[in-house]
Structures are given as C-alpha cells and as structure tokens.
Amino acid sequence: MFRSPKPIFSASTIAIVGASERARWPQTIWQNLKANGYAGKVYPINPRRDEVYGVPCYHDFGSLPEPADLALVIVPAAAVQGVIEDGARHGLKAATVYAGHLGEGTDPEIVGRGAALKALCEEAGIALAGPNCMGGIAFREKLFAYPNGGICKPSPGSVAAVFQSGGTLQFWVQTAQSRGLRFSYAMSSGNEIGLDLADYINFFVDDPETRIIVLFIEGIRRPEIFKAACTRALAASKPIIAIKTGRTQRAREAALSHTGAIGGDWQAFEALCERYGIVSCPSLDDMTETALAFSQGRLPEGGGIGFVTTSGGTVDLLYDYAEAEGVSMPDFQPETVARMRPLLPKEMTPKNPLDSGIPAGNDLLAELCAVALDDPATDILAVAGQISTGRADIAAGAPMGALVDRTTKPVIGFGRMRYHLGEDGIAYQDAIGIPYLQGLPETLRALAGLVFYGARAGRTIAPLPAPAGTPENLEGDAFADLLAANGVTLPNSVLAEDGAAAAEAAAAIGFPVVLKVVAPAFSHKTEVGGVLLGLSSADEVCAGAATLAGRIAAADANAEITGFLVQEMVSGVEMIVGARDDALYGPVILVGTGGIMVELMGDAAMRLLPVDEDDVRAMIAELKGRELLAGFRGAPAADTDALVAAVVGLGRVYLDHRHLLADLEVNPLIVRQRGAGVAAVDVRPVRRSD
C-alpha cells in the first residue's frame, strides 16, 4: 500500500548526476550539502567531465568508489531513463528526478516516457521522487537536495511540508522560517510517478520528530491510499494543514498540464477534509498562520475563544470577522467580569472581546489574560500584540511566558496587520512560548482550524461496509417501501397510462394535484416543461396530459412516454438531497436548497458517506436556506428532524446499493411543517448501467 521515502531522506551516499559548473541547480545542491554539514559522501557524475567543483567527477555509476544510495538526477528528460537503468545495475536505492516532460499533460511521448520510468523504478525497487520537481530536504540529516540556498537552514523542527509545486515550496518555507517555524522535512513531490502524497504522509506519521504535516495539493493520485494515510495521521493526532488548487475549471486544467494531477470536484475535496480532519486553507498566508497556531502543540477542548485586546478598533474588527468566519466568542461568566473590573480603567467594560485600554506593563496584561483563561467558556486565549521589529525584550515577556506555563489551553498572540519579524522577534516568540499570528482574518481562520481539528484529533475512521443491496430493491413498490423505511417518504401518487386514467387517479387523490410526464429520455422533467402544478379538476388533468405529451414530442419526436404520474400537492420548504460516487473521493451526500433554483443558488453542503444525525445538522447549519427551515418571515417552522432522518436514510440506501446506482437524487424533497414529515416529490435513481 505505502512506499517508503526513507531512502530519499536518509541516504549516506549521494550521486549528483549532471554535475557541472555551468549548470546552476547541481552546483547549488552541491554547495548546500557541503556548506550545511551533510555527513555522507557526495559524488558528482558527468560523462563529459573528469573534475568538477574541485573534486574528481565520475562518468557513470559503475565508476563510483561505492554504490550510491540516492541519485539526484538533473539531466534532460530524454536522458533520465538511461541514467536510472545504469543506477539500477549498480545497486541504486532511490532517485530524485528533477526534469519535467515525464508524465505530465496529455502529449503521448511525454506520458509514455513517464510510464516507462515508473515501470523501471518499480521493477528495480528504486524509490522515486518526482519527476518535474525541485528535490527535497531532510533537516535533521542536513540533506539539502534543493537548488535554493535560502531555505537550507540547518535548525530542524517539527513541521513536514510536501508541495506538488516546487517553486511554491521554497517561497512558502522561507516565509514560514522567517516567522519562526522549523522543519523536519520539505519535499517537492512533482509528478509523483513514484512516491506520492500518501507515501510521504504515512512516513511523517511514523516519524517521532514530525508533529505537523503541511500539503500543497494539485491532485491526489491514489485517493483510497491517501485516505488511509490521513486516517493514520488523524488517529496519531498529527494535524494535516493543506491548500488545494482547483476551485475553478481553469485551475484544474492547469494542474493536469503542470503535474498530470487530476484535481477533482472541489466540494467533494472539502467533504474529504471534514471527514479526515484536514485543515483546509484558502491561501498560502493562511497556511503559515495556521501552522504557527498548531506549533504550540496544544488543542482546545471546545470552540470558545476569549480575546484580550488593547484597542476598541480591534474589537470592532473582531466582531465583523468572527461572524464571517464562524468563530465563537462567548460572553465571559459573571465571576470573570467581577474579577476583571478592578484591573481595568473605569471606562472599560469587561466583555469578550475585551478592550483593556493600554495596560501598564505586561504584568497587568498577563493578570487580565489569566482571568480570561480561567473562564470555563474560554477554550483558546487570543491576545492582541505585536512583537517588536527591533530588539525584542525577552525579559519583559516573562509574565506572558508564565501565563502559558500555568495552563494547558492554547494561548495565541495576534496582530492586526502583517509585519517583518526579525531573528530577535523569533527568539522572543520561542522564549515565551506564544506564537504570534499576523492579520485578523488569517488569525481567526487559524483559530477556527484549531477548533476544527481539536474536535477530531484521535478519531478513528472505519472502512466503508460492502454494499449488500439487491437489484430487486430498486424496483417499483419495493423501492418506495425501502425509501419510506429510511425516512424518505413519497407523496400520495398514482402512475397512470393516459390522460383519462390520470384524471380518475387525481379525483381519488383529491384536488389540487401535480401531473408529471414519465419519459425515460428526460430525467429532469422541468427542463422540457414536463410538470404541471395545481391542477384542480379532472378536465384540467386530462388536458394537461395532452399538453405534456405535446411538449415531449416537440423536444424529441422519438421519445417514449411510459405514463403520467399524478401526485398530491405538497407544500413546504423545497430541499435537494443527493448521493453519488465521486470518482476520486468515494461516496458522498449533498443537501441543499432545492427545486428549480438549485443550480443557480448553489446553496449546498456535502459530506463523505456515511453520515449520522450530527453530520447532517452541521450540513444544514452551513446553508443559507437554513432560515427557511426555521420559519422565515412568519412562516411555520419546518420539520428539520424529519429532514435529518431522510438525509441519513438516503445515504444509507445509497451506500447499500452503490454497486448498482451511480446517483440517487431527490429534488425537491418537500419539508413540511414541524411534525408533518417530508415528501420526496421527485426521486431520480441513476443505475450504473444507464
């Protein structure tokens, strides 16, 4: 299942293939290895050189004094296959291939070249990083196989980063280092013909020095194996912080041409993050702040955040941003308020967020923070402050450091804007044990990430049960009974063969009724005008059947009409519920504002299956349409409990029949008044054979 990148990170002998004074990348890597204390041996290989960098240069692997553990292959794409073949004959264990044009995009020659390299490495048992990458770094081992000196800082730490974009990796790591983050590993994974994200995650889970995993994702090669690796990381409480490209179609196309990665459906990826506890970041800056927030190594037990600031303007901004980001700022308890009053200027009101004025020194600020920390509703303490951009006074920060020592809750500093943090600032941050975040929106999203992960850390995820449903379950009355048994009740309805029979059925059901044409060629009836509402007499039903038949004939003269469905008129809130098998991430379920406006409004939430009632209630809470369910503008509240049961039940039905169904959708699902249940007005099962 997993392939180990250990030979990439722990090699004791390295061969740089393509070494030359005129080639910048191999020369920079040579200098990085030599200047930063790599303890192993490094051999340059170039068949056209006898000496390079002032040392002997070897013509091939066979001429080396000893076998190479790792080859850093920095040659044109057309020459890579021959280099790896030569290495395989001489005991090569691992290779990092830097060249592109090896598997990415759709060009047959490039794709074929990548496939041949993959087959060769698999047959020879060579761990392959890349191609189309910029290499990687093992900071503890001082193995700096990256063609940039700026990120080669030998001080190791606990953050491991894997980026499918090598150029982005170096700039992000440099920025993160300038903020005080330290790394165990940094890897540019490229096209991932060999080692992929899942392999690296699995390796980091087992690495005792790595506590935080950061990913830049363009696409996921082996989704099921990726999920297995994320399952291990979650169980080990090692947070995965990720940014993924592909929100738009053009971004997905760019990823395919860049690394050959298939981006997949964005909403399904977000559902994957929710299930596996992946903290999804909207920007690289957010990823820096979030990683810093996690670097303290503490997780909250709940979602309440207590804010202590020194500015009314900051308080105002926090109110705006907190609502937008869904951050909870609970009121301080009366006891907390009473303890704060003597510590504040008379004109200041103790509340959360707290404007403390300008406290007379860090002792008073720390005392106020201690009171806020003691409040039972405070799960995270966030303190406004900016580290000096000059020489930071570590001694002055001692009271805040003592505050951190007296609690197990996360204590996070934050500033309103971005600023440069020098080496003294990093030393101050390290000494007092408080990470200082920058920018209010980024800070709030980072704190929300702590809350999100804290609620999931240590969770185990069971594998999906095998589908056990039979084809007979999906036929006629058996299907209706199955849906009803799972909370998806159908309205009173009759399938009639013609207009006269439809009129008779309508009279039996009771007017007014809905009339729908049944034509297998048109699964979305509204797109061809195949639904008539509010028919109030037998004559209207009979005439309506003729009208619908004419519309189908106009749309497709050869389309077959198998009958007319007569249904009772149902009133309530229109929702959509649908389950399908996502090509990358597996079975998912969606709930959203339904009816004919569903695609226009785009108001939907998605989760991986299975889901329980808590999952569904969280999905509903994400919808703008949740206000309709609560009773908008005097309307009666809808039966949300029945909606929740129907979503859970539809997911259960789909999971049990996913080998037979590609898609199972109810639109609209009418949610009646509280206590009256739901009505699945239009159920659309799509068989895999369809």
User: What is the CATH number for 400?
Assistant: 3.40.50.261
305 and 266 co-located in one domain? no
pLDDT for 261 equals 56
pLDDT for 255 equals 58
pLDDT at 262 over 70: no
End residue of a domain, out of 224, 248, 280 = 280
Of 154-163, 268-277, 523-532, least confident by mean pLDDT is: 523-532
- Secondary structure percentages of the chain, helix, strand, coil, to 5: 40, 20, 40
31 and 172 co-located in one domain? yes
pLDDT at 259 over 70: no
pLDDT for 361 equals 75
pLDDT in tens, 5-27: 999 999 999 999 999 999 999 99
End residue of a domain, out of 544, 568, 592 = 568
274 and 355 co-located in one domain? no
pLDDT at 305 over 60: yes
Assign residue 499 the CATH number of its domain. 3.30.1490.20
Neighbours of 561 (CB within 10 A): 19
Average pLDDT over residues 89-106: 96
Confidence of residue 534 (pLDDT cuts 50, 70, 90): very high
Assign residue 651 the CATH number of its domain. 3.30.470.20
Residue 471 included in any domain: no
Neighbours of 75 (CB within 10 A): 18
Confidence of residue 378 (pLDDT cuts 50, 70, 90): very high
543 and 510 co-located in one domain? yes
Confidence of residue 308 (pLDDT cuts 50, 70, 90): very high
Average pLDDT over residues 373-387: 96
Residue 128 included in any domain: yes
Residue 466 included in any domain: no
pLDDT at 260 over 60: no
Burial class of residue 133 (count of CB atoms within 10 Å of its CB; 0-12, 13-18, 19+): buried
Q: What crossing angle do the helices spanning 398-405 and 362-374 adopt, rounded to 10°?
A: 20
38 and 166 co-located in one domain? yes
Confidence of residue 198 (pLDDT cuts 50, 70, 90): very high
Burial 326-353 (b: 16+ CB within 10 A, else e): ebbbbebeeebbebbeebbeeeeebebb
Cα gap 51→48, rounded to integer Å: 9
441 and 501 co-located in one domain? no
Residue 465 included in any domain: no
131 and 144 co-located in one domain? yes
Helices and strands in the chain, H and E counts: 23, 29
Burial class of residue 266 (count of CB atoms within 10 Å of its CB; 0-12, 13-18, 19+): middle
Residue 305 included in any domain: yes
Average pLDDT over residues 311-318: 94
- Are 68 and 92 within 8 A, CB to CB? yes
316 and 271 co-located in one domain? no
Average pLDDT over residues 548-576: 92
Average pLDDT over residues 319-337: 96
Peptide bond preceding 668 in cis form (omega within 30 of 0): yes
Cα-atom radius of gyration of the chain, to the nearest Å?
31
98 and 184 co-located in one domain? yes
Of 111-125, 258-272, 335-349, least confident by mean pLDDT is: 258-272
* Domain tally, the chain: 4
- Residue 272 lies in domain: 6-280
pLDDT for 419 equals 87
Q: How far, in Å, are 6, 123, 217 from residue 104 at the CA level?
A: 25, 21, 15
Above pLDDT 70, what percent of the chain? 96
Residue 470 included in any domain: no
Residue 541 included in any domain: yes
Confidence of residue 254 (pLDDT cuts 50, 70, 90): low
372 and 521 co-located in one domain? no
Query: DSSP string of 283-299?
Result: SHHHHHHHHHHHHT---
The mean predicted confidence, pLDDT, of the chain is 94
For residue 55, what are the contacts with CB-CB under 8 A and spacing of at least 6? 44
pLDDT for 154 equals 81
3-state secondary structure 66-130: CCCCEEEECCCHHHHHHHHHHHHHCCCCEEEECCCCCCCCCCHHHHHHHHHHHHHHHHHCCEEEC
Q: Higher pLDDT residue, 255 or 617?
A: 617
207: helix, coil or strand?
coil
pLDDT for 526 equals 77
pLDDT in tens, 469-483: 999 999 988 999 999
pLDDT in tens, 633-684: 878 999 999 999 999 999 999 999 999 999 999 999 999 999 999 999 989 9
Residue 461 included in any domain: no
pLDDT for 689 equals 80
Neighbours of 13 (CB within 10 A): 17
Average pLDDT over residues 41-56: 98
Amino acid at position 207, single letter: D
Average pLDDT over residues 129-135: 98
Confidence of residue 457 (pLDDT cuts 50, 70, 90): very high
pLDDT for 649 equals 98
pLDDT for 576 equals 94
Which phi and psi angles does 95 have, rounded to 5°?
A: -145, 140
Q: Higher pLDDT residue, 249 or 627?
A: 627
pLDDT for 632 equals 80
Looking at the chain, how many residues does it have?
A: 690
Cα gap 455→662, rounded to integer Å: 32
Residue of 573, 582, 510 whose CA lies nearest to 541? 510
541 and 618 co-located in one domain? no
Average pLDDT over residues 24-32: 98
146 and 52 co-located in one domain? yes
End residue of a domain, out of 224, 245, 280 = 280
pLDDT for 388 equals 74
Query: DSSP string of 585-616?
Result: TEEEEEEEE-GGGHHHH--EEEEESP--HHHH
Of 258-272, 392-406, 412-426, least confident by mean pLDDT is: 258-272
